[in-house]
Each structure stands twice: as structure tokens, then as C-alpha cells.
Structure 1
Amino acid sequence: MSASLITLRRQLRQQRRSVCTYTQRQAQYRVCTQLFKNPHFSHSQHIGVYLHAFGEVYTRHIILECFRRKKSVYLPMICSMNQHLVWVKISKQQYLNRRFAMHRLGMQQAMQSRGRMVKCLDLVIMPLLACDHMGTRLGMGGGFYDKTLSRAPQKPYRLGLAHDFQLLEQALTRQEWDQPLDALLTPQHFLKFQR
């Protein structure tokens, strides 16, 4: 990994963590306003979504709207055997009661030990550190989403969720293992990409 990429990741992590609660709530509201009208969201029944933990755009309203619309909600869980993500279905009660386990990397995940493969999902809403105008996603560096999505090239629809400052004007270098997004949603932008 280049020194410039390490520096960029560090800067974006710090900037994302420093977003205040008011700005987070505004971002969540604006993102949800766009997302709930989006046909990919409306037509998807099985939706994978992250629990925000490191300054990502809040996902609480998205998860609650999925339950309201009778959609199935799945959370990512890191499989210790191969470092891929599996997707664990959760109930509304489980979500509201915060019945989750803390992963050693600092995020919460469902406590069940078995999950579904990503190809079973219609839509996956993904966190990121940065994205460029070609749909190249820069993650936290673990490669969990890239490894997982490389096994399901056609499905699901890949939607990145980000703050506006995470949309970069400069192009990111796309490695052969990087899995591009289908679209990026920020409080001010909705961008579609050719995958």
C-alpha cells in the first residue's frame, strides 16, 4: 500500500469520526429522503446494511424503514475462517433491543454464528472511506466487502453510503481485487456507475 493511500485513509477516518451528531442526523435525513424513493430500494426485499460505528452515515432510519415496509434486514458478520462476510437476518425486536456482539475490530454484529451468502441479497448498503466518480470504493483496509462481493459478481446491487466529503474528485487507483459500486448516495448526490 502506498504512503499516499495510507495518509488518505488516516485523514478520512479522522474526518469521518469528527462529524458531529447534528450533522450526522442531517446527513441521515437527506440520504433517507433520496433512498426511500429509489427503485432499487423499493423493489429489494432482502437488504444488507451496516450498523454505523466509526462515523459512517447513520443507518437507523434505513433499518427501521425496511422493517416498516416488511423487508428482510441482514447485517454483515465477519466469518473467522475465511475473512469473508456472511449476512445474518435480524428481527425488529433484536434491533431495537440492541442484541449484538462486539467484534474485536470495534463494530457490533449479530450474535448468530450462521449467515447467508451475499448473492442471496437484492441490495447491499455499504460503508466506505472514499469513492471516486468511477465507482471505485476505498474501504477501511480489511478487504472484507471486496473478498465477499468477488464471489457474487452479478448480485446484489451495491450502494455506497457516504458523507459528501467522501466523494473524491481525484480518481482512486483500482486494484484487480477491488469491487466497484453500482451507485453512491450522499446527502447531496446520487451517482450511478457502470460496473
Structure 2
Amino acid sequence: MLIELTQLRKKIRKQRKQVSVLQQQYSEQHILNRLRHLPEFKHAKHVGIYLHAFGEIQTRKIIEYCFHQKKSVYLPMICNMNQRLVWVKISLHQFYNQRFSYHPFGMQEPMASRGQHVSHLDLLIMPLLACDAFGTRIGMGGGFYDKTLASAPYHRPFRLGLAHAFQLVPQTLIREPWDQPLDALLMPQQFLRFNR
């Protein structure tokens, strides 16, 4: 299983890198169009979201739309003490001026010393490498989202993954006891809800 998972990660990473700029723009716009109508998004006041960095579904338009809808936007920051994520509220000014620092893993993080626990969020919009038809999610391999969500109440936040169509894999992924599944998966042409 370990070899299969390693191969799957490698294959999807390669596919993500090959997504064209035009395809990324198309995917981001179509996902935003679908996201606007989701009840969980409409009712969310506190939204956690990622800054794209590795070929994931891009989030710039979604973040701008959140601000336009007067939602509070939070970005993840890795807490070095326990390798969990905390959620830092950002302003529109901060977002437009790119007031972020680079983590050694390559992604951007907000510059702050403190953040909120994940349970403060109503909606958590998550990146992923792969997902199956049951909501089992594979991330980049650091386990940050799994560790973070393990300490969250069952019903909060709503866990929404964003993905390109090829990231929904036909095989059933083995779910380890520590894996934290999704509530739903949003793709440019498809939306799936799962029974977590």
C-alpha cells in the first residue's frame, strides 16, 4: 500500500504541475460559481482557506469574494511546537499587499504570532492531493490538516476540499485511524457530499 500511495502522490503531483494557466483560471472561476450557492458557504461568517502554491485550485478570486461578502478570512500558519495549524485572520489590505512570509516547505503564511483554533471557523476550504468517492483525503504528506482537525468538534468546521477533476481517484483509499475525511468535495464540474 505504501508503494501504491507513493506512486499515486507522484502521479498527481506531476499532473497538477501540468495544469495550464488558462485551465487554472477556468477551474477557479467555475469553482467560485458553484461555491457561491453552497448553503455552508452562504452562512459561514469565518472562512479558513489556503493560499495556492503547488498547483492546487487557485484561491485568489474566492478570497476576494469572501471579503466582498463581508466574511472574515483566515489563513493557516504552522505552529512549530505541535505541527498543527492555527488560523490567522487577515485583512483585504494584507491580502492585496502580500504581507506574508515563506515557510520552509514553500507555502506562504501570514505574519503573526497568534492564531485561532480550527473550531473557530464555520467553513474550512482545504487543498488536497487526492480524494476518493468516500471523502478520504490525501494531502501533501505532512499531516497538518489531519492533526489539526483531530482536535476539532465533530460538526465544526464544515470541511470542503477543492480539486481538479483528476484528483478524484477511482480507487478506494485506505483510511488510517488518524485520517480526517471531508464533508464535501468541490470540483469545476462536480460537487460531492460525503457521510463522514
Q: TM-score range by the shorter chain?
A: over 0.9
Query: Which segment is superposed worse, 88-97 or 145-154?
Result: 145-154
Cα deviation for residue 102 of structure 1 reads 0.3
SS in 2 for 1:7: helix
Distance 1:58 1:48 in 2: 14
1:127 and 2:127 correspond: yes
The aligned residue for residue 84 of structure 1 is 84
Cα deviation for residue 154 of structure 1 reads 2.5
Matches within 5 A, 1:1-195: 2-152=2-152, 153-195=154-196
SS in 1 for 2:116: coil
How many residue pairs end up in the alignment?
195
Give the aligned CA root-mean-square deviation in angstroms: 0.7
Gaps of 5+ in 1: none
Q: After superposition, give the CA deviation of every residue in 1:156-179 in whole Å (9 maximum; x if it has no partner).
A: 000000000001111100000000
SS in 2 for 1:101: strand
SS in 2 for 1:98: coil
SS in 2 for 1:23: helix
Cα deviation for residue 113 of structure 1 reads 1.4
Distance 2:131 2:4 in 1: 16
Match of 1:188, as an amino acid?
Q
Distance 1:142 1:154 in 2: 24
Match of 1:156, as an amino acid?
P
SS in 1 for 2:159: strand
TM-score scaled by length of structure 2: 0.98
TM-score scaled by length of structure 1: 0.99
Distance 1:67 1:96 in 2: 11
Distance 1:17 1:76 in 2: 22
Cα deviation for residue 18 of structure 1 reads 1.5
Q: After superposition, give the CA deviation of every residue in 1:24-49 in whole Å (9 maximum; x if it has no partner).
A: 00000110110011111000000000
